[in-house]
Structure 1
Amino acid sequence: MPTEQPIAASAHPPAPGAPLVRPARAGDESALAALDAATWSTLHAITPRPVPPLPSFFRPERGPEAHLVAEVPENPGHPVGYLRLVPSIPLPANAHVRAIQGLAVDPAVRGRGVARALLRAAVARCRAEGARRLTLRVLGHNTPARRLYESEGFAVEGVLPGEMYLDGAYVDDVLMGLVVHTEE
């Protein structure tokens, strides 16, 4: 069986203590479901709060292969973050676009570059797959996430004003994108 390799986010080796990003495995499902439930917030979630028993994290259309998982060196094998990366629209005319449809980081490791490492690994995966664009949606009031995405080169491509109604307030849905591959 081949050894699983971390996904390179850059050409440089990771700094000591830096998060490691790898493809998700089927065995990660319960840890990812628990992480998803623990990080739920109307700052970023538009779905109802998960309640026990937790639903399956993986689904046929978004199994382990659609997820990148982050670990920290002091706790190998334990996911502390994930990013879901899927085709944007399942049509041949849109096959060159990938979409981030979920990103979560354990609050205990926030500020250690986990989300940034996941984003960079997603861009690396997109490039390796020949994708040209990477898109995402973020709620307008999620300032920390928007700043992170902008710092990684994502640009606002559209705003759907008042698209969501959360906690008694209308919230904008912000569409962001990044060109990841420009060769013809």
Structure 2
Amino acid sequence: MEKTIIRTATEADGAPLAELDRRTWSTLHAVMPRPEPPYGPFFTERSRPEHFLVAESGGRVAGYVRLMPATPLAANAHVRQIQGLAVDDAFRGLGIARALLRAAADEARRQGATRLTLRVLGHNAPARSLYASEGFVVEGVLPEEFLLDGAYVDDVLMGRSLTS
């Protein structure tokens, strides 16, 4: 397998990232409805290329992580939040999600953050296990926060320190 590089997204990544999002959509991790045509742009004013780190292998987009300030408030400018992580099925099991999480932590530190948080659906055991193995701990649970495919699903809040 080709060496994987992780880099900041560019405008040219919009179409491949949008396609990846559509291919990997699942109620295991998505609370929004399945994307249907006509598709809007992947990048928007609130979700710009610089918010994404892209994993590329063999010239192909293999995955991405979206890293954002948790809120626009100055009082928690020290917190970054992962607001999306996807890996192409063809690249699963190669450590790409783990590499993206580590790159997100490094980028968050570079931006001056001391904490990294995320939200994950309670029934997404593989993601929860990965996050725990990377130092994230459950910091809160919103029970039955979402109704997906006729079942109530918890919203699990996880976080970790970037200083220890």
TM-score bracket for the superposition, by shorter chain length: over 0.9
Q: Which residue of the partner structure matches residue 136 of structure 2?
A: 154
Percent identity, aligned pairs only, is 61
Partner letter of residue 108 of structure 1? A
Give 1:134's match in structure 2, choosing from 85, 106, 116. Answer: 116
Residue identity in the other structure for 2:162: V
1: distance between equivalents of 2:143 and 2:54? 32
Quote the residue 2:55 is aligned against. 70
1:174 and 2:156 matched: yes
| Alignment length (residue pairs) | 164
Residue correspondence of structure 1 range 1-184 to structure 2 within 5 A: 17-72=2-57, 75-76=58-59, 78-181=60-163
Which runs of no fewer than 5 residues in structure 2 stay unpaired?
A: none
Q: TM-score, normalised by structure 2?
A: 0.97
Question: Structure 1 residue 19: deviation in Å?
Answer: 2.3
User: What is the CA deviation profile of residues 27-65 of structure 1, one whole-angstrom value per residue up to 9, with x for unaligned ones?
Assistant: 000000000000000000000101123221111111000
CA distance in structure 2 between the partners assigned to 1:32 and 1:17 by the alignment: 19
Q: Give the alignment's Cα RMSD to 1 decimal.
A: 1.1
Structure 1 counterpart SS, 2:61: coil
SS at match of 1:136: strand
Offset, 1:17 = 4.2
Moved over 6 A (4+): none
Paired with 1:18 and 1:157, the residues of 2 have a C-alpha distance of: 35
Aligned to 1:9: none
Which has more strand, going by share of residues?
Answer: 2
Task: Kindly state the Cα deviation for residue 18 of structure 1 after the two structures are TM-superposed.
Answer: 4.4
Provide the rounded CA distance (Å) in 2 between the counterparts of 1:138 and 1:19: 25
What's the CA shift string for 1:44-88, capped at 9, x where partnerless?
00001011232211111110000000011xx22x21101000000
Query: Do the aligned residues in 2 keep the contact of 1:19 with 1:113 (CA within 8 Å)?
Result: no
Amino acid at match of 2:31: I
